[in-house]
Every structure is written in C-alpha cells, then in structure tokens.
Amino acid sequence: MTIVTIEDELRGAVEAWIAGDPDPRDRAELWALLDAGDEAELRDRFAGRLTFGTAGLRGAVAAGPNRMNRAVVRAATAAVAGWLRDTSTAGSGSTAGIGGTAGSGSAAGSGSAAGGGVVVGCDARHRSAEFADEAARVLAGSGIAVHVLPLPCPTPLLAFAVRHLAASAGIMITASHNPPADNGYKLYLRDGAQVIPPIDREIETRIGELGPLPEIPVADAGSPLITRHGDEVADAYLDAIIGEVGGKETPAELSVVYTPMHGVAGKLMLRAIARAGFAAPHVVAAQAEPDPDFPTVAFPNPEEPGALDLALADARRLSADLILANDPDGDRLAVAVPVPGGWQGLTGDQLGALLGAARLRWTAGEQGARLAATTIVSATMLGAIAAAEGVRYAETLTGFKWIARAADSMPGTRFVFGYEEALGYAVGDVVRDKDGMSAALAALRLAGEAKAAGSSLLDLYDDLEAVHGVHLTSQVTLRTAEPAKVMTELRSAPPADLGGRPVTSMADLSQRAAGTGGRGGAGLPPADVLVFHIEGDRVVLRPSGTEPKIKCYLEVVEPPDGRPLAAARQAATSRLAPLRATLESILAGR
C-alpha cells in the first residue's frame, strides 16, 4: 500500500485555514482531502484567494481560500466593514469621495459606523442564503446597520435598494449566469454601482491583513442592527422602472413567451409586466421556479446554444410574437423574434441599438443634455445613433461598473441608456447596473409599437442599418493559462495586417491616463486592452475578468452608400471572414 503525503508547507497552510474556518462542513471537507492525500486539489484550492474581477468575487462553492464559502464571505465582509468604518470617519476626502462610502454629509440616520448601513441580498444558488446571513451578521457584529431584502431576490433590486435606502454599500450573493457549482459576492458602493479600483484593491489588501477569523465579531441573526425588509422596496423598484421606461402606449397585444431560466427574476418580472399594463406572458413551466441545479439547461446563460430550447418550443407551439429570457439573477435579457422558417435571437449589439434608439426617441422632449454609453468591445452603432440625435456619447471599459458611471465626469448630463454586448442593458439611471427586467419592459413597449405600426423589431433594425450602416460583430476566444503573457507578446510584436489589410493604428489602453469616455479608448482608465484599427474596422483584445482566456471582439462597419441593405451586409460579411480567420491563426500560435 502506497502512503501519499502532503508537502509540509501546504499541509500547514491547510491546517491553519481549518483552524479558522467557521463552517464544520468545510472543515471536514478539507480534512478529507488531507486524509486522501489529494495534493493537486489542495494546491488549487490554496493557490491564492478569490479576487475582485469584472463582477466581484466568483468561484466554485467549496472549502478553501480559492473557493466560495463562509470563511471567504466572512473575511470579505469584515474587510468591507473595516473600510466602511474608516472612510465614513474620513469624510469626503481620500477614497470616500469616489462615490463609495458614507461621508460626513451622508444619509446616516441609523447611528451605525457606516452611515446608512449596508443592503444585503442573494439569489437562489447553493448556499446563497447561508452566505447572505454570514455577511449580515458580520456587518452587524461590526456595528453596521444591515438592510436584508426578502430572499432570494434579483440583482437589479439590490442595486436599486442601495440608493433607495440611502445605504453606504450593498452586498449581493450571486454568480449570475455561471455554472451551478459556482457562487459569488458582488459589492456595490453608495452610488448604487459596483465597486471599482482602487477601492476593490484596498479591500483585498484588508482581507490579507485580517487576523484569525474566529476573532471577527459576528452578531446573532436577531440583532437589532439587522432590519429585514418586506415588499416595500420591490414596490418602489417597480414604480421607478415603470416610470422610467413608460407603460403600454399602443393597442397592439403581444403574444410573449418568458423564461427566468430557473432564476429569481420570475415573480418580480411578472409583476412588472402586469403593472406596466402589458398582457401576461406565457411562462416556460419547467424553468419558472428557482432551482440552483438548473436542470433543463447545460449552462444557465441565455447566450449559450440550447439555453432557449424550451422557450423556442413553446413559442412555436403558441405562434408567439416574442421570447424574453432573463438570466438566473435577472440582470441580463435575451430576446428572440420569429423569422420565416424559425426564430432568431437578437445579439446584444442589435438589441442595444434598438433599445438605445427607442430610448433616445422616447426621451427627446426632456430638458438638459442626455448621455448614452456602451463599452469599447460593443458595436459602435449606438455612437452613430447618438450623434444623429445630438446626444452625448461615451465608451467605457468592459463592465457595468464603468457604464453606470459614464455621466459622473460629465456635469450637466443625464444617463438615459447604456448597454454592453453581453446582453446587459440600463434603461435610465434608476438602477446603476444592468437590469434585465426594465430592459424587458422597454423591449415589450418597442415591440408593441412596432406591431401596431405593422412592423417588427427586425424591420426596425433594418431601418437603423440603412441609416447608420451595417455594424457586423463577432468574437474569437483563446483559452490560455497565461493570458497576461499573450497580451505582452502582442504588445511587443503587434500584427502588421489583419484579414489581408494593413493595421492603421493600435491603441494600448494600459498606457492611458485616467479619465472617461471617448471612441477608440481615448481618456479611458488604464486597462489591459489592445485596440487594432483596420481601415475603419476594429479588433479589441482583452483578458477575461473571470476565466483564463483572451477575448477578442471584431467589428466591421459597412456604410450602405445607397446600395440595397443586403449588398452592404454581404460586403461586411466578406470582410469579417478573413479578419476572423487571421485572428484565430495568430492566437492559435500563442
């Protein structure tokens, strides 16, 4: 019999973690791995700590610092509590002025160390409620008031509640559309948007400086500092998004199939649709209730092939006009429409252009300067639409934590619409994050208007391309264990041509000075992003914020120039194919 031994340094790290882990199941899990001599698994779990990526902490639910568990939630929340206490007393100076924490003039009122307290919510994933309870009790143990929303709840409701309750921060336990094994921890600042640098790095530093976890004070679940809210926050949210989007304004009734994808948005979405005056949709029965195992889909992301199969089957049977799908935490929206012989899903860029154009039309009578925003990896059509309407426009880094703040450095502007190509949309500024429910209401309003006029969403998109040109987009992904190395190589030896055409310029966003806005990356905060321009077309490369891979975004713009739209689209397609092939070849050699 072979006895497998764990290297002493690794064993010491594991045993030290076990000693401080508050969860008996997680402690037992690590002891079992030690007893089994599973060094490879332990090395992975102790390779480092989860860090704040594009959308907070995220990882598989399991024991150890490189996983999602109670110990990680306790440490992260204790660090957040310490940061809130320190910056609350610092007033408006230092990092307290980055929209992030309650200063001396904040809406305190709770008597807590962090002004208005912290809002806590969670989705229905495995252990989400447990992690939310841990976060609430750690905050209360630090003397900070806590507002717990009715659980589970959608992410947009949490983002809305931060400002609605004049809180200093918000914590949402969710892994959005990740696989069933995952969970996560999103942190919102007092402005209602997700945490940004340098605050996320400050909190990570504080996590590393924490003492033993058993020494962190944890309040009882019945602490007087913990307020458990009823339906009043959801009611306020529904009033706000309906007031922003507008209700049913046409007589055209739509036959709609809706799925919450086994997530937590379903009940609130149906309330929103009814309150806005739209007919009740048909709900995909097998996906109507929250289920952390997502049993009917291989991957609970409405972008993934097969995710809408059940919705499509119902839509065909009912001869529906529209399919709406939220992701499991309700912050994304997918839309599909009937076409001859079947159904077509709208891309994020297509729906972003449609909702953006509609939103600018709906708000045309408002006073003051309006702002529309998207990211540097999304299509540029929104910029063309905004320019034609005389509306301010900004491109930000990837992630709604940047999109939501696009107006912050543009005094006198009001954010009226923003989107990212990954099915995220913000219809107005009542929620400073992507919101799949208010976006669904906007899609219903626009589809209803189109049907009343004898048109369709695809007809409306044809009209946009006829005016602003064909904006054809695609993605190429390279999985690599060393994304930073690949980006360094591309910087040192950039391609001279792509798709058989010369690269006219390259922008390295890692060298940019801090700022906001601007097409092509001008004035953006520094980021590990490369932008290549090829005679008006564009390729953007960046490492993924959540996975070990390089993501490449391609856009080909073809002006119609008086030609039939089909001819312009064919010209764009013919340019995209060699561009994509060249990029795949370059990345395959890395």
Instruction: Check if the beta carbon of residue 518 is closer than 8 Å to that of residue 395.
Output: yes
Instruction: Check if the beta carbon of residue 413 is closer than 8 Å to that of residue 392.
Output: yes
Give the number of other Cβ atoms within 10 Å of residue 240's Cβ: 17
Give the number of other Cβ atoms within 10 Å of residue 252's Cβ: 15
Spatial separation of the C-alpha atoms in residues 22 and 36, rounded to whole Å: 22
- Beta partners for residue 438, in sequence order: none
Q: What is the dihedral of CA 323, 326, 332, 335, to 10 degrees?
A: 0
Give, in degrees to the nearest 5, the angle at Cα 386 between 506 and 335: 90
Q: Give the DSSP per-residue string, 477-526.
A: EEE-S-HHHHHHHHHHS--SEETTEE--EEEEGGGPPS----GGGTTPPP
Exposure class string for 50-61: b at 16+ Cβ within 10 A, else e: bebbbbbbbbbb
- Which two tokens mark 266? 């379903």
Instruction: Check if the beta carbon of residue 6 is closer than 8 Å to that of residue 18.
Output: no
Which residue, among 374, 297, 356, 300, has the nearest Cα to 331 in the 3D structure?
Answer: 300
Strand pairing report for 537-543 and 530-534:
antiparallel
Instruction: Check if the beta carbon of residue 200 is closer than 8 Å to that of residue 52.
Output: yes
> Which active-site residues does the annotation give?
176
